[in-house]
Amino acid sequence: MAKWEPTEADDGVIYSLFWRLLELAVHRYGSYPTGQLLTVMTIILLDRAGYHPTVGELARITRLPKSTVSRYVSAEMNNGYVEEVIDPEDRRRRRLHPTAQAREEQQWHRQKVREIAVHTHDVLEGRSHTEKQARELVQLLMGYGGEK
């Protein structure tokens, strides 16, 4: 499979995806600190790759202080999105796993981000930004904040 290299034409789609993540962090979950969002996204990304970090590993990966990551992980455990699982190879280690609730939330995000990406791509490919397209994009973006 060829490696995807974004082009200048992809900038609008990429920008809209980052906007989406920021908007969700603020409106869907309350005003999450950026570091907490980074921590959760890293856990989910590594889970998809089949790797479950410890708090110390997560701190090194995100370059956040271990005490901060620990606080973020604790908050996400209280919210039901992250769980600690004892490592069967070294019982002193606790590996971080997203919960079923987190996986459901991730699926919801993926669907919504795809919708934004497709719509933004359609607008950019059309190279004609009509008032109707702009209104549709605004409605699409506005519909996500509180949606569950």
Residue 70 pLDDT greater than 60, yes or no: yes
Q: Give me the residue label for tokens 């004892």.
A: 86
Rounded Cα distance between 144 and 21, Å, is 11
The residue among 10 and 98 whose pLDDT is bigger is 98
Tell me the domains of the chain and their CATH numbers: 10-142 (1.10.10.10)
pLDDT digits (tens, 9 = 90+) for 75-116: 889 989 899 999 999 999 999 999 999 888 888 877 777 777
Query: Is the full-model pTM beyond 0.75?
Result: no
Residues with Cβ within 8 Å of 52's Cβ and at least 6 positions away in sequence, in order, are: 43, 46, 85, 95, 96, 97
Residues with Cβ within 8 Å of 61's Cβ and at least 6 positions away in sequence, in order, are: 42, 46, 53
